Amino acid sequence: MSEAATPVVSPERWSESLSGPPILDSRVHACSPIRIRRWRNIAPDIEQPPLDHHFVSLHLGGSKRIRRTGEGGALCQDVHAGAFSVVPAGSSFLWRTYGPVDFAHIYIDPGSIAHAVSTGFDRDPRDVALEETLGGDDPLLRAVLGAMLDEAAAPEASDRVYAEDLLQLFLHQLLRRHSTVRITSSRARHALAPHHLRRALEFIESSLAADIGLAEIAAVTGMSAFHFSRAFRRDMGVSPYAFLIQRRVAGARTLLIQTELPLTCIADRCGFGSHSQFSRTFKRSVGLSPGRYRAQH
């Protein structure tokens, strides 16, 4: 009789079996399907069962050597900080780290990958698989993963549209460079009709105070979030996130000059999540804090 297959488990269940709790357990933003966890200084030997999620491991904390044992034998790889590994759902490995134990896991449910494949590459998700990677180096993916980790570490200061832009770019780059989809299979669909652009701009303008995301903006055009984001950037010269911030800052400048509203009230009216996010974003855009800008004008 053949040996029964090891059942798949959730990332939450696996997390409970590790030698210590994560120092970060969050999502890129509240509505995101992508969960991020980070561990530091736990036991260097980790048994990873087959998971019901794909995950990308971002190697942090300095250079180290990683040994991975599982189906296909053992692999040993010297990695630097910022290198990453891709582990498709259902894979099972034993991991051993020689050096600083510091890593973040980005868990991706298969449904999110399937959606990105069908909307971003016009392919049947059943024909596409992630490719296992140990200690890979992809500068764009590394930068996006780092930004996602920063967003997850400070959810109170996170901007939803920016976080969703990061997620779309992460999934596209992951599939484009580290799956069997291959970019040549993608069909160009980047045109944004004038009436679609007008609807998007009107929706943004009427929703500056709301907690809108990329999906809501794209929905008024009937496009996927990924294709809308690329088409918007091509037509407007900036991403939807950058344009939304421009309009929120412009509204704040008007209120600072024309009213005596408290800064917290202006932050709320212009769609900033907090006074600190408002001050930080405004100063980065204008070069002055909101208080100094009001005093000078």
* Complete edge-to-edge strand list for the sheet that includes strand 102-108: 24-27, 35-40, 102-108, 54-59, 84-87, 133-136
Q: Which pLDDT band, with edges at 50, 70 and 90, does 217 fall under?
A: very high
Say if residue 186's pLDDT is above 50. Answer: no
pLDDT for 28: 61
Q: What is the pLDDT of residue 190?
A: 55
Q: Cα(155)–Cα(164) distance, rounded to whole angstroms?
A: 13
pLDDT, average across residues 52-56: 96
Q: Count CB atoms within 10 A of the CB of residue 58.
A: 22
DSSP string, 257-275: HH----HHHHHHHTT-SSH
* Residue 72 in this model has a pLDDT that exceeds 70: yes
Whether 285 and 242 have beta carbons less than 8 Å apart is answered as no
Please write the tens of the pLDDT for every residue from 106-129. Answer: 999 999 999 888 877 878 898 899
pTM: predicted TM-score of the whole model, two decimal places? 0.69
Q: Token digits for 157?
A: 């200061």
Across 35-58, average pLDDT: 96
Whether residue 185 is predicted with pLDDT greater than 50 in this model: the reply is no
Q: Give the rounded distance of the alpha carbon of 163 from its chain centre.
A: 6
Distance between first and last Cα of the chain: 82
Q: Tell me the pLDDT of the chain averaged across its residues.
A: 88
Q: In the structure, what pLDDT confidence band is assigned to residue 4 with cuts at 50, 70 and 90?
A: low
User: Which amino acid, 7?
Assistant: P
- Residue 253 and residue 251: Cα distance in Å, rounded? 5
Predicted confidence at residue 238, as pLDDT, reads: 84
Sign of CA dihedral 221, 223, 229, 235: negative
What's the pLDDT score for residue 33?
A: 74
Which of the listed ranges 52-56, 147-151, 196-200 does the model predict with the highest average pLDDT?
52-56
CATH class of the region 242-296: mainly alpha
Look at residue 213 and tell me whether its pLDDT is greater than 50: yes
Q: Does residue 60 carry a pLDDT above 50?
A: yes
Residue range 85-105: mean pLDDT, rounded? 96
Q: Which residues contact 224 (CB under 8 A, 6 or more apart)?
A: 119, 120, 218
Same fold, 11-183 and 242-296: no
Q: What is the pLDDT of residues 234-281, one digit of tens each?
A: 888 788 888 999 999 999 999 999 999 999 999 999 998 888 889 988
DSSP state of 30: T
**For residue 11, is pLDDT > 50?**
yes
How many whole angstroms separate alpha carbon 207 and alpha carbon 244?
Answer: 10
What pLDDT shows up at residue 251? 92
Say if strands 84-87 and 54-59 run parallel, antiparallel, or are unpaired.
antiparallel
Overall average pLDDT of the 30-44 stretch: 87
Q: Which residues of 243-282 are buried (b: 16+ CB within 10 A; e: fewer)?
A: bbbebbbebbbebbeeeeeebeebbbbbbbbebebbbebb
Under 8 Å CB-to-CB from 61, ≥6 apart: which residues? 40, 81, 99, 100, 101, 102, 103
Residues in the chain: 297
Q: Where are the domains of the chain?
A: 11-183, 188-237, 242-296
Asked if pLDDT for residue 191 goes beyond 80, the answer is no
**CATH number for the domain whose boundaries are 11-183:** 2.60.120.10
Residue 17 has pLDDT above 80, yes or no: yes
| Enclosing H/E stretch for 177 | helix 160-178
Please tell me the predicted confidence (pLDDT) of residue 27: 73
Percentages helix, strand, coil for the chain (3-state, rounded to 5) are 45, 20, 35
